[in-house]
Structure 1
Amino acid sequence: MFQAAKQSKLPKNESANILSVDNGSTLYRLSLYDQPPLYDVTVEEFETSALDRLRILAEIESSAARNRSWDETKQVTMTQCGKYLPLNSNSALGIDVLEERRKDRLGHFVLRLAFCRSEELRRRFIRAETTLFRIRFETDDSNERRAFLDSKDFNWISVGAEEKERYKEQLKHFISAKTDLDGAFQSEAFYKVKWTTIPDLVEKRKVFLKGGYAYVPAREQASIIYSAFEERLEAALRVTSRAIPLVDEDTRLNPILDNLAQGFIAGIPSDWVASAETTGEGITADMVDSLAKQHFPLCMRVLHHSLRKDHHLKHFGRLHYGLFLKVLGLSIDEAIAFWRKSFAGGPGSDKFDKEYRYNIRHSFGLEGRRMNYPAKNCLQLHSAHEAGCPYRQLESSPENLQSALLSSYSAQGLTINDLPEIIAQVKKKSYHVACTRVFEITHARSVRKGEGLSDGESVTHPNQYAARSIELEKETKDPKMKVDHGV
């Protein structure tokens, strides 16, 4: 599917970062993704298109984990698509719909490479992609949707007038009209498909079965299309899995595909390559205690509590918490003041300067490689063995997790009655859902259940949690300060 671009087309320093891909059809907003795209893309475009699509698919998974209704799932998904993966109809004015479809198809095929590697990943990918297709199908322009359907072969057979009349008494049971049943029957079209292709309609007894075929009324036609999409995607993933050894030879792609798969396995919107540093307004060392009590996610509250209790944190605790505070807005001078004060009773001034000052300056890019390090996101904390995500690390000790939650958030409205729902999500390894639910409970005055940080968005980064919490407090004090918090 992918092959290196010819060296002669590009400057030497750019050719190694270009992939050659083939262009597929962009006639319609809807797609069965039956033709891979073929055009030149950079490695960066290869990665970012997949990341943006993964955010949508992961939010669909989050909706399922949170038992959102179909209407809620649909609304959340459409909102997230508007941010990361817009896909407009041909009638849209002033919009490059071809570029939108180009990105949509590229992201889909990149994720195929990442998620074809195991049965579990394939199953989750198919389910999320089918949900996304269904939402787009329901919201598509009716004329364009009809043109799309006419352009594809879904292996259905239109039931002719004679056959329809032959089974009239049986088929009338599947007409929804409450009056003028005969008239409604005459105007209703029926299609025949192999009954095994639409198990959902068979299970719900919404079709007439005869001779191995299911007679499907036109109003249920969408189920045939969804089943065809799912069936074709499943077959395509099996084919792709056999081609993976060829892709593995490209050392540029392996790290990207591995990270994409890990992001999906963790069950979170994969946002670890997006602009990781969104430094907020400046804060001082003296403000940290108050901010921790009101605005920090559990992972950072646990670290803050340990620091205040023991006047010390181990290396990774200092690293994760220090980077979090830096991105929150703690300047280098205030950071040194904060850590010096926090270690009071521990190392003396000379020892602090010798053992810790350099590392603090290093994290700000002022020493060593002079690299301004970003704060760790949720996916990175999930995989950390030390000072990581407490929802994951305390999964096997629900009693300790419940104690940590109550001690951290009871002052903000979290009660013992809220814990079963949170622990249930942790047991399902939906750690980001548990954290998002805590945010909703502790910000109930501003956020409704299911709304997440806003518009259904889930927590993907400790700084994202803290920044949104601070924003909500400001909006409560002064509604005129309401801002767009999109990442």
Structure 2
Amino acid sequence: MFKAGERKANIVSRTAAESSYVSGLKYPVPLNFYDKPPLFDITIEEFETCALDRLRILAEIESSAARNRTWEELTKVISAQCEKYMPLKDNSSMTDIHGQRRRDHLSHFVLRLAFCRSEDLRKRYIKAETQLFKIRYEECSHADKEAFLNSRDFGCLSVSTEEKEKYREQLLSVYFSPRSEAAREAAREAAREAAFEKEKYLKVRWARVPDLVEKRRVFLHGGWAYVPGLDQSSIVFQEFESKLDKALETTARLLPRLDEDERLVPVLENLAQGFLTGVPSEWIAENGAQVSGEELKAESIDELAKNHYPLCMKTIHDRLRRDQHLKHFGRLQYGLFLKVLGLSVEEAVVFWRKSFKRITDDKFNKEYRYNIRHLYGLEGKRANYPAKNCLQILTSGNTTDCGCPYRTFTPENLNTALLSAYAPLGLKASDLTEITQTVKNSHFHVACTRVFEITHASYGVKKGEAIGGESVTHPNQYASGSRELWKKVHGGGDLDMAEVT
């Protein structure tokens, strides 16, 4: 493959990095190509929780792509998510870097098991993981980055001074082609020559850097791509993506061996479902079944639904008011939502009794009061049931009565429902194109998040900010976030938002 006189080259000089490379550590640097599976004992709880933490980060990467965030915005959001759920400090940190890198290693391989089972999952996982690696690579310290690069052979060839001079004009024309006004200024002859003399080139087979070829940022000759120093990270990223692709195919072939383990299969299936729907079930993981606000009164529910509900709960509430009744799953979903929102069991009985106007007191007491108390853990096995999150709603089989409207409604019905529910809160017909396009791409929670941003713009919420910078993953998160914004700006109770919109 290599011509006489050519030599393999690392992306940076080995001697420059050896001083920073921490020897004796299982994870000497924060960056990882995940070549070897984790060979240590773990609990089922650790198996699931660290995978969920990583899933939250990857789901936010997908959400950011659907929302057309810029690279700077993506980096800011994901860095915050990583710091919150899966920090990965460099070697200068005094924190438990081994524990952090161990969790990173484990979580990657757990999600490999979850997402190797279909081509669609593999593609989405590779894309999200590659983006995560790019962000970490760019934020990695210079010393740790050099140590990582020199710990691997990327199969590059160094370009000799003679070869560089031979293709001087071609290399100059590619690398120093004007990319912006600033670049045009910097491309003056003297500056060009000086920069070119300092530049170090590597060459790889052109198929290794398709992104640079597509953008015409490399000189191609004889099947080789001549890559300048500025763009050599592309070699690393492409190598990461290629190796992960092959590893996932291998994992998929070995996956049937796990079928006998009843402990792992349900966990992996749940992780895969969460990634398919784009929802990591984050809010409920932090809030559980706990009440998220002060106690509500039954008579305030109508105003609350008008001003602070996500579309799924608005739809159920409107159906309840229209039919004066809800089927079992509708009562279950809405009842738990109200419980977590702050409706006490006593007020819940009052609310449901007034809502079911067509039935007698005797029938209500016999058929409904027990179920209401059961939701609050006061009857039956006395469990403290949590409200359903977006993932559970999206994957529920009972979508007709209480599913996600962004998924179950036709485009025409969805547009009508959105304008009816949110036009008084600031949603315009011109906003529907963006929302329906997001729905068309199956990013249902992103569409819901965008509606939240539009209807709360008057409270300072900007596009891409959502609720505290995170996408909507739970109906109660939406309602609680809306109420908190109202109270922060206006104070007091839940008044009519439309009055100030």
String of CA shifts for 1:263-310, please: whole Å, max 9, x gaps.
111122343872432312211111211111111101111111111122
1:279 aligns with 2:280: no
What SS class does the counterpart of residue 204 from structure 2 fall into?
Answer: strand
Q: Confirm or deny: 8 A CA contact 2:281 2:389 kept in the other structure.
A: no
- Aligned position for 2:394: 382
Whole-Å Cα distance in 2 between the matches of residues 92 and 101 of structure 1? 13
- Aligned position for 1:418: 431
- Aligned position for 2:261: 250
Paired amino acid for 1:417:
S
Deviation at 1:180, TM superposition (A): 2.9
- Aligned position for 1:348: 360
Which has the larger displacement, 469-478 or 213-222? 469-478
What SS class does the counterpart of residue 373 from structure 1 fall into?
Answer: coil
- 1:264-343 matched pairs, under 5 angstroms: 264-271=275-282, 274-275=285-286, 276-280=288-292, 281-343=294-356
1:162 aligns with 2:162: yes
- Aligned position for 2:408: 393
What SS class does the counterpart of residue 157 from structure 1 fall into?
Answer: strand
1:98 aligns with 2:98: yes
Whole-Å Cα distance in 2 between the matches of residues 115 and 223 of structure 1? 25
5+ residue gaps, structure 1, are 1-23, 480-487
Which has the larger displacement, 98-107 or 121-130? 98-107
String of CA shifts for 1:346-368, please: whole Å, max 9, x gaps.
21111111000010111111111
Whole-Å Cα distance in 2 between the matches of residues 86 and 288 of structure 1? 41
1:458 aligns with 2:471: yes
User: Would the alpha carbon gap of residues 153 and 478 (structure 1) be closer, same or farther in structure 2, given more than 3 Å must change?
Assistant: farther
Whole-Å Cα distance in 2 between the matches of residues 478 and 405 of structure 1? 27
User: Would the alpha carbon gap of residues 298 and 170 (structure 1) be closer, same or farther in structure 2, given more than 3 Å must change?
Assistant: same
- Aligned position for 1:9: none
String of CA shifts for 1:232-288, please: whole Å, max 9, x gaps.
000110111111011222110000000111111112234387243231221111121
What SS class does the counterpart of residue 282 from structure 2 fall into?
Answer: coil
What SS class does the counterpart of residue 87 from structure 1 fall into?
Answer: coil
Whole-Å Cα distance in 2 between the matches of residues 45 and 320 of structure 1? 30
Aligned partner (choices 444, 450, 461) of residue 447 of structure 1: 461
Deviation at 1:402, TM superposition (A): 1.2
1:118 aligns with 2:118: yes
Deviation at 1:478, TM superposition (A): 5.2
Whole-Å Cα distance in 2 between the matches of residues 377 and 182 of structure 1? 60
Aligned partner (choices 348, 367, 373) of residue 361 of structure 1: 373
Deviation at 1:416, TM superposition (A): 1.2
Whole-Å Cα distance in 2 between the matches of residues 149 and 210 of structure 1? 26
Whole-Å Cα distance in 1 between the matches of residues 232 and 406 of structure 2? 43
Aligned partner (choices 233, 242, 248) of residue 222 of structure 1: 233
What SS class does the counterpart of residue 384 from structure 2 fall into?
Answer: coil
Whole-Å Cα distance in 2 between the matches of residues 265 and 381 of structure 1? 13
Deviation at 1:443, TM superposition (A): 0.3
Whole-Å Cα distance in 2 between the matches of residues 323 and 193 of structure 1? 58
Q: Confirm or deny: 8 A CA contact 1:447 1:454 kept in the other structure.
A: no
Deviation at 1:81, TM superposition (A): 1.4
Deviation at 1:421, TM superposition (A): 1.1
- Aligned position for 1:262: 273
1:130 aligns with 2:141: no
What SS class does the counterpart of residue 41 from structure 1 fall into?
Answer: coil
Paired amino acid for 1:207:
V
Q: Confirm or deny: 8 A CA contact 2:86 2:100 kept in the other structure.
A: yes
Aligned partner (choices 195, 203, 223) of residue 192 of structure 1: 203
Whole-Å Cα distance in 1 between the matches of residues 26 and 174 of structure 2? 36
5+ residue gaps, structure 2, are 1-24, 177-185, 493-501
What SS class does the counterpart of residue 180 from structure 1 fall into?
Answer: helix
- Aligned position for 2:496: none
Higher relative contact order at CA 8 Å, sep ≥6: structure 1 or structure 2? 2
Whole-Å Cα distance in 1 between the matches of residues 32 and 296 of structure 2? 48
User: Would the alpha carbon gap of residues 158 and 25 (structure 1) be closer, same or farther in structure 2, given more than 3 Å must change?
Assistant: farther
Whole-Å Cα distance in 2 between the matches of residues 442 and 363 of structure 1? 31
User: Would the alpha carbon gap of residues 34 and 70 (structure 1) be closer, same or farther in structure 2, given more than 3 Å must change?
Assistant: same
Deviation at 1:101, TM superposition (A): 1.0
String of CA shifts for 1:314-341, please: whole Å, max 9, x gaps.
1111000000000111111111111111
Q: Confirm or deny: 8 A CA contact 2:284 2:389 kept in the other structure.
A: no
Percent sequence identity is: 58
Deviation at 1:170, TM superposition (A): 2.0
What SS class does the counterpart of residue 421 from structure 1 fall into?
Answer: helix
Q: Confirm or deny: 8 A CA contact 1:175 1:184 kept in the other structure.
A: no
What SS class does the counterpart of residue 274 from structure 1 fall into?
Answer: helix
- Aligned position for 2:217: 206
Q: Confirm or deny: 8 A CA contact 2:159 2:200 kept in the other structure.
A: yes
Q: Confirm or deny: 8 A CA contact 2:377 2:383 kept in the other structure.
A: yes
Deviation at 1:411, TM superposition (A): 1.1
Deviation at 1:28, TM superposition (A): 0.9
Deviation at 1:422, TM superposition (A): 0.9
Deviation at 1:132, TM superposition (A): 0.6
Whole-Å Cα distance in 2 between the matches of residues 440 and 329 of structure 1? 24
- Aligned position for 1:19: none
Whole-Å Cα distance in 2 between the matches of residues 132 and 377 of structure 1? 25
- Aligned position for 1:471: 484
Deviation at 1:105, TM superposition (A): 1.2
Q: Confirm or deny: 8 A CA contact 1:209 1:215 kept in the other structure.
A: yes
Whole-Å Cα distance in 2 between the matches of residues 217 and 363 of structure 1? 63
Which has the larger displacement, 79-88 or 125-134? 79-88
- Aligned position for 2:61: 60
Moved over 4 A (4+): none
- Aligned position for 2:148: 148
- Superposed CA RMSD in Å reads 1.7
Whole-Å Cα distance in 2 between the matches of residues 65 and 114 of structure 1? 22
Paired amino acid for 1:120:
D
TM-score, normalising length: structure 1: 0.90
Whole-Å Cα distance in 1 between the matches of residues 438 and 131 of structure 2? 21
